[in-house]
Every structure is written in structure tokens, then in C-alpha cells.
Amino acid sequence: MKEFTLIFRMSDFEKVKPSPEEMQERMNWLASIASQNKLVDKGNSLIPNAESAKTVRSGDVVTDGPYTEIKEFIVGYVIVRTEDIDEAVEMAKTNPIFKIGGNVEVREVLKRD
């Protein structure tokens, strides 16, 4: 089994705060993976607001807000355990984030030990 980090990205600040229904949908998605014993780490949500995010650049340059050069910002991550990347991609496809214009980046975890 391999481990993959699913990185959630959004481009619309307005839609980040979920409604109770959206919250329930997200929990259902996460619990579905956990029910298959494939959840390694339920991860965290990352707050994208200006007062909760800073970006630090070379030369002591600090700007407010998350890194948005690609017009997107990271809102959270989850780590799953699957046979291969295709299975992780299939999991990502069922995430409700697509309903609110987000996307998911799937990245294999390099395990050092």
C-alpha cells in the first residue's frame, strides 16, 4: 500500500465557509474512506483569511494572505492509503469540493526511514 496526500484547493474565498449540508457531505466523504480503513490522517483545514495567513518570501518580504500566485489557495489536506495512485484519484473524484469550484491535487508521500 502507498500513501497519498490529497491537497484541496479553492479559488473563491466566498465559498470556503461550508453550510451545514456541505459540512455533512464532507464528513460523509471522509468517513467513507475511514470505513475502508484507508484513512492515514484526517488532516486539517487551513484558514485562508488574510488575518490567518501570511506568505513569506526572500528578502524578508511578508504579504498578507495565502500564496495565490496560481489564483488558487490551499484550504486543507487529507492523507489516504491506497494500492496505487489511480485508486487515490478515484477517491478524490468523489469529494464534494467540485460542487463549489475547487480542485484536488493528489501527491504520493515519500516515506523516509
Partner 1 sequence: MKETESYNELLPHMFRQEYAKMTAILCRHFGLKHIEIAEDIASDTFLKASEHWAINGIPENPTAWLYTVAKNKTKDYIKHLSVFESKVKSDLDSNKSVQSDFEYNEQIIKDSQLAMIFAVCNPANNYESQIALALQILSGFSVEEIANAFLTKRETIKKRLHRARLNLRNNNFQIRELTKEEIESRQSTVLSSIYLLFNEGYFSKTNNQLIRKELCFEAIRLTKVLSDNKLTNTSQTNALMALMCFQSSRLEARTDQKGEAILFDDQDRKLWNKLLIEKGNFYLRNATIGKEISKYHLEAGIAYWHTTANKNKWRSILQLYNQLITMEYSPITALNRTFAFSKVYGPEKAILEAEKLKLNENNQYHELLGYLYTQSNIPKAIEHYEKSMELTKSEIEIKSLKKEIERLKEKTTSNNVYKK
19 makes contact with partner 1 (CB under 8 A): no
> Binding partner 1 by CB under 8 A: which of 35, 51, 70, 110?
35
Contact present, 80 and 1 (Cβ < 8 Å): no
Helix (H, G, I), strand (E, B) or coil at 9: strand
Contact present, 11 and 105 (Cβ < 8 Å): no
The distance of closest approach from Cβ of residue 63 to partner 1 in the complex, given in angstroms and rounded to an integer, is 34
For partner 1, the closer of residues 24 and 45 by Cβ is 24
Distance CA 91, CA 80 (A): 9
Helix ranges (H only) for the chain are 20-35, 85-93
44 makes contact with partner 1 (CB under 8 A): no
Of 34-42, 51-59, 60-68, 105-113, the window that binds partner 1 (rule: CB under 8 A) is: 34-42
Please name which of 111, 113, 92, 110 lies closest in space to residue 9, comparing C-alpha atoms: 92
49 makes contact with partner 1 (CB under 8 A): no
- Binding positions for partner 1, rule: CB under 8 A: 24, 27-28, 30-32, 34-37, 39, 42
